Amino acid sequence: MEERHRKILQRNRSNLVKDLDPSSLYDGLIENGVFTQDMVDEIKSCATRREQARKLVVDLETRGSRAFPLFLQCLQETGQHSLAELLRNGAPAIQLQPATPTQAVRPVLQPLPVSSPMDVDKQRKDDVPVYPMPRPSTTPTPCNYKMDASPCGHCLIINNVEFDPQSELSNRRGSNIDCDKLESRFKALNFIVDVKTNLKQRQIKHELSALSKKDHSQYDCCVVIMLSHGTEVSHNRFPGAVYGVDGQHVPVQYITNYLNGQHCPSLQGKPKLFFIQACGGGEKDTGFEVSPDEVEPSIGGADDQTDAIPTSSSSDSLSTSDELDARPTLPTPSDILVSYSTFPGYVSWRDTQSGSWYVETLYRILDENASTDDLVTMLMMVNHEVSQNSAKGLYKQMPGSFNFLRKLLYFQSQA
């Protein structure tokens, strides 16, 4: 599909998801070679009309150059004129060129054999479509996570701002701004939000343990957000660690283990999301040169600070007597996504007046796109926008994720 047509679909995705009747389009899209039967069957496997409409539009963007005008034609033929007009107003005049050398888009009934087998074989070859579409993967792929419970689930925010003097860690000015933004955003996404402030290491572990012991059976998702100083530690799955206000840290892989399927059975098969606003280390990224077309305005200011702490050699602040449900030696968890504010080993920048680059961008992307885009797509938007910023006109930052989700995750539509 041409890029201008793809952008028209993306700009109008919200209206398409809201109003599109996908069931009336399937036959026409198959007959015109836009989708295969397998692709339509996969779209139909989505539970609701909205989910089917969303997947149809997303899959449509991957099709060939004739997919967009043929989609408009199918909308007109099925009486969805307002949507067709909406898309047409955003596109230049389109004229469908006849397929050459033949235009076999509908099967033709033939009389009982009056020709030789050789003629029949020749006819079958002539009926091959002129514009074959790439065959989609036949690997079974589930559609979306169930995310319609009300409330959707619990969201725990741990916001460490004021650190004990003996910890030798600076206070994190601007973190309360991050906390307020995330609290309001996840409440708007229908989560039960619980904010804890200035916790020591042992208190962090207590809150995570308490969250894992809750009954999540009536909910669809669980979110943990850590706002603190961070550092590197040795790990075998998820890198990094976050500090309590006492200067003792908790590795990220310990944090995720509290909610995995073994330690929190009522969250088995449900998405567990972790957002880590903390440094992954002490190295500062000065970036590399790119062409002027790649550069966009940056928002870094003179008040930028980092959440960096010198690298720790290992998980030395956690003894072997720690609680059983915090062991880091379990099989790789499924249905977990960990989003980091910065690439492991590098600092994470925070403006004392407007909050951290990562949270500020995440808040806005969720606000603008949660009703139409899945979580992983939105996190890529966050990665791109944060990567354009510069601290003190020099230093860069690159967020990233460790994704063990098995399905697409769409948050509930915001009121």
CATH number for the domain spanning 189: value is 3.40.50.1460
pLDDT of residue 38: 85
For the residues 310-336, what does the mean pLDDT come to? Answer: 41
Q: State whether 182 and 48 are in the same domain.
A: no
**CA 93 to chain CA mean position, Å:** 34
Write down the pTM of the prediction: 0.60
155 has catalytic annotation: no
Which of 229, 249, 263, 264 is labelled catalytic?
A: 229
Number of domains in the chain: 2
pLDDT tops 90 at residue 331: no
Same domain, 244 and 373: yes
Residue of 46, 155, 221, 279 marked catalytic: 279
Low-confidence winner among 175-179, 189-193, 224-228, 286-290 (lowest mean pLDDT): 286-290
pLDDT-based confidence at residue 384 (cuts at 50, 70, 90): confident
pLDDT at 97 over 70: no
Does residue 325 form part of some domain?
no
Q: Identify the band that residue 287 occupies on the pLDDT scale cut at 50, 70 and 90.
A: very low
Is position 221 within any domain?
Answer: yes
pLDDT of residue 120: 45
Domain contains 143: no
pLDDT of residue 387: 79
Average pLDDT in the chain: 77
Q: Kindly tell me if the per-residue pLDDT of 18 is higher than 80.
A: yes
Q: Does residue 116 belong to any structural domain of this protein? A: no
Asked whether the predicted pLDDT for residue 335 surpasses 90, the reply is yes
For the cut 60, the answer to whether the pLDDT of residue 13 exceeds it is yes
Instruction: Tell me, yes or no, whether 293 lies in a domain.
Output: no
Q: 250 and 340 share a domain?
A: yes
> Among 67, 89, 111, which residue terminates a domain?
89
Q: Are residues 82 and 163 in the same domain?
A: no
261 with 344, same domain?
yes
Torsion sign across C-alpha atoms 142, 336, 277, 293: negative
Do 276 and 175 belong to one domain?
yes
Q: Is 81 in the same domain as 162?
A: no
Q: Are residues 28 and 177 in the same domain?
A: no
- Tens-digit pLDDT profile for residues 138-166: 333 468 999 999 999 999 999 999 999 99
Assigned domain for 113 exists: no
Q: Is 152 a catalytic residue?
A: no
Least confident segment among 71-80, 119-128, 243-252: 119-128
User: In this model, does residue 326 exceed pLDDT 50?
Assistant: no
Q: Does the pLDDT of residue 40 top 50, yes or no?
A: yes
- Which range of 60-69, 97-106, 203-212, 324-333 scores highest in mean pLDDT? It is 203-212
Q: Same domain, yes or no, for 385 and 252?
A: yes
Phi-psi category of residue 240: left, alpha or beta, with phi > 0 → left and psi -120 to 50 → alpha: left
Instruction: Kindly report the CATH number assigned to the domain that includes residue 49.
Output: 1.10.533.10
Of residues 78 and 318, more confidently modeled: 78
User: 179 and 281: one domain?
Assistant: yes
The residue range of the domain holding 9 is 3-89
Residue pair 349/359 in contact by the 8 Å Cβ criterion? no
pLDDT of 312 strictly over 80: no
Q: Do residues 166 and 264 both lie within one domain?
A: yes
Distance of CA 31 to CAs 2, 75, 135, 195, 327, Å? 21, 14, 15, 54, 55
Q: Is 320 exposed, middle or buried (0-12, 13-18, 19+ CB in 10 A)?
A: exposed
**Does residue 214 form part of some domain?**
yes
| pLDDT for the residue 90 | 73
In degrees, to the nearest 5, what angle opens at C-alpha 160 toward C-alphas 250 and 191? Answer: 90
Lowest mean pLDDT among 39-48, 282-291, 304-313: 282-291
Give the per-residue pLDDT at 227.
95
The pLDDT assigned to 286 comes to 36
Is residue 128 assigned to a domain?
A: no
Average pLDDT over residues 21-50: 88
Point out the domain boundary residue: 89, 106, 135.
89
